[in-house]
Structure 1
């Protein structure tokens, strides 16, 4: 049989697929409240049908699914160890101690601002949004619940702070990857990102401060806080040395030790603390790594907050990750992003359109590729040539691709970051999305810079400079020529 010739999807096919994608996600999640797993599987078969239509074999499409999943295995392994960390740290009293001290020191009116700043500092120090949410973020969620604040609002402050450092810290893998892809010096990229990150932090900080006063003015029953403090001390051994494992983990992350090893070691410390300081027997303590922590105190605050963690709690998240990564592999194989590159390149004529195109392309990496690292690749590869054509410095490229990719990554429910944040914080992505103010403000600032021309740097005519150098070289060579004897 004659093999069918493979060709790229036509624009109308692309728009039909995107429309079906949105329709499936909307009706599955918003209308019928079906598990996102089923929606992702349905989209798989839409893309498989398109792939076969344009000439791909089913075997090649299936291989692309496996390839996509393989590229994200490291993230899946990290999620497994985050589950062990949460279970053991609750059992060891680390998380309860964090919440205990937080309830004593932070006033409800400034709690949201404090959450933003604490998570921002943690993410800068560790270079990881996931590590920040899995440690400081969990504690702040518990404190916020005790204060009676809406949990989606608290989660918004955690996410805002976590991604402030993730896209700015020189030890963040996404920051390093962005600078590398855009061919920009790391420190120059960080300085460029500060122009967006710092104003976004200030503006979102004001918003969280106002929100904190608004909810405080509506009345906070501090007797509930006192009761929760007493319940924590009654059910857990609470002391300063309970925080040693957290300090150790943060230092290890700052030293650049791989996240999986750091989380595994932190989980072991949690088990040791559970046995030594919380009086738990060895087998039960080890069991929290898989089944999570279980307590029946009779206090709703304690039982609802601390009955969680373990690998078992992450199995649903892992399934979503696998399906989402497979979707990303299909997207790449079918050529969706290639077609988008061609379409956008015809539209980009100035800095404003270039900025919005880069952000949009990076967002599509999260939306269709379901992974933060994919967003950086799409943001770069789809528009990088246009920066050179318009003679715009690549520092603007790196800034825009990380803004569009990393800031939107926790805002897509089926992307790896959105899945992780929802699982760890216990709040759905769509619930905290309206309150991820630093992320949303950062996007607005980037677009403002693009269309206003602020902080848009232009390069010299590189080609012209090369030609001048070549002419000078020719002249020098003629002057130094010696007659042949």
Structure 2
């Protein structure tokens, strides 16, 4: 006779203890002990596994949940390695130096931050990927900003504000497709639901970056800019032809071709440009795809911005993402976020409280799930019942989940987006996070307008029978019987 065990949801106290231990590890390792975040995530696995076993799960099922979480996010790992290769070969091929060179000549310091946000948003809108936009236009704008004397964290904030806005408004974006499909909303309806608040937030953020840009315009030493331009011209063959690989990659991404092969092809073009345009030894050019590019120009700025790239520079980030994805899979299996969501449910009685609870749930999905996809999958599943119960259309759900999940993903140092953006832009997550102004403005505008009843779409509330069916479905998923 088979022995049956009831698998329970964790209590609030159990969740607080488990997640408290993880947060204490994460913050102490990164801020106090100078230990890698990878170790905190590694230890965190066993904290959640211990909780899962106490709740009735068996170890094999928990291990399977962790490996499933990793498998679901391996596409991000492949893209991360491809972008590392792209950065290395594009620096070796003179592509990134050329963009920085012409940018320093053309962009006035007073409008630099605004221009950065606009250029990155257009790149992300056309390609449908914030990662691709940050890995191409973002890197170039970081170099230009450093040449103009703009603080790197502030430039990174403008880059990410543009990248995430364009990504959210693009029907090509994976996160847009995921958030809408998980909420049972058509993609264009989802984008239309986000558009009014996103545009208001974009305008406000643009004004903020313009005002700050004028502040820095007077302090820029143009003689230093001229010396950087001269040194760049001495180290590399600067030619408008170097824009060709950029255009090719952006066009291929805009045609919705898969990111991994397109970015890898861009890396190949970088190798060709390094050999044919820069006259580099073929073996050194190929090696730039793996090892960081090395240059000693005598100009500190140039060496700092260009000694980077290669797949090997991304291996630490790969480890974080793998551990983070597994951690998110364990949290989903054990039911931690479901318990948190039930706390919010008791206080949800209006459009405003719906927005707050959904955004908070999505943010916690990033913090404890360590990946944006975890947040965008779990948040609609957890919060949908409240929208149906109160009579609000699902496109409000998809919008709030998108804003809470995507716009905050780059703020968490151990999330996939936080690790990627910090690695690719060369700025620590906690340093650039305060300057992600579009994210903060957008979330504030969403909450305020929701409480005011603006940009909120109603529908007939779900019947008690429909809600009972939803509860039964949820019970079946969280109280599974195992032999």
- Shorter-chain TM band: over 0.9
User: What RMSD in Å do the two structures reach over aligned CA positions?
Assistant: 1.7
State which drifts further: 154-163 or 287-296: 287-296
Aligned to 1:12: 13
In structure 2, distance between residues paired with 1:330 and 1:376: 16
Aligned to 1:371: 371
Q: Secondary structure at the match of 2:43?
A: helix
CA displacement, residues 183-234 of structure 1 (integer Å, 9 cap, x when unaligned): 22222211111112111111111111111112223x2111010000011111
Aligned to 2:32: 31
CA contact (8 A) 2:390 2:461 kept: no
In structure 1, distance between residues paired with 2:48 and 2:132: 34
Aligned to 1:116: 117
Deviation at 1:450, TM superposition (A): 1.7
Tell whether 2:294 aligns with 1:294. Answer: yes
Aligned to 1:65: 66
Deviation at 1:62, TM superposition (A): 2.0
- What is the TM-score normalised by the length of structure 2? 0.93
- What is the TM-score normalised by the length of structure 1? 0.93
Q: Secondary structure at the match of 1:290?
A: coil
Deviation at 1:445, TM superposition (A): 0.8
CA contact (8 A) 2:358 2:401 kept: yes
Q: Secondary structure at the match of 1:161?
A: helix
Q: Secondary structure at the match of 2:346?
A: helix
Q: How many residues align?
A: 464
CA contact (8 A) 2:114 2:158 kept: yes
CA contact (8 A) 1:125 1:254 kept: yes
In structure 2, distance between residues paired with 1:303 and 1:30: 27
Unaligned runs of 5+ in 1: 467-485
Aligned to 1:285: 285
CA contact (8 A) 1:116 1:161 kept: yes
CA contact (8 A) 2:389 2:462 kept: no
* Structure 1 pair 330–461 and aligned structure 2 pair: CA distance change class (3 A): closer
Deviation at 1:419, TM superposition (A): 0.6
* Structure 1 pair 32–55 and aligned structure 2 pair: CA distance change class (3 A): same
Unaligned runs of 5+ in 2: 467-483
Deviation at 1:260, TM superposition (A): 0.3
Deviation at 1:77, TM superposition (A): 0.5
CA contact (8 A) 2:388 2:461 kept: no
Deviation at 1:4, TM superposition (A): 5.3
* Structure 1 pair 55–462 and aligned structure 2 pair: CA distance change class (3 A): closer
Report 1:306-345 matches (<5 A): 306-345=306-345
CA displacement, residues 385-417 of structure 1 (integer Å, 9 cap, x when unaligned): 111111111121111110111101111111111
CA contact (8 A) 1:360 1:379 kept: no
CA contact (8 A) 1:379 1:404 kept: no
Report 1:331-410 matches (<5 A): 331-410=331-410
In structure 2, distance between residues paired with 1:334 and 1:385: 20
* Structure 1 pair 461–328 and aligned structure 2 pair: CA distance change class (3 A): closer
Q: Secondary structure at the match of 1:125?
A: helix
State which drifts further: 452-461 or 197-206: 452-461
In structure 2, distance between residues paired with 1:461 and 1:63: 38
In structure 2, distance between residues paired with 1:110 and 1:33: 37
Larger radius of gyration: 1
Deviation at 1:461, TM superposition (A): 6.0
Report 1:16-415 matches (<5 A): 16-217=17-218, 219-415=219-415
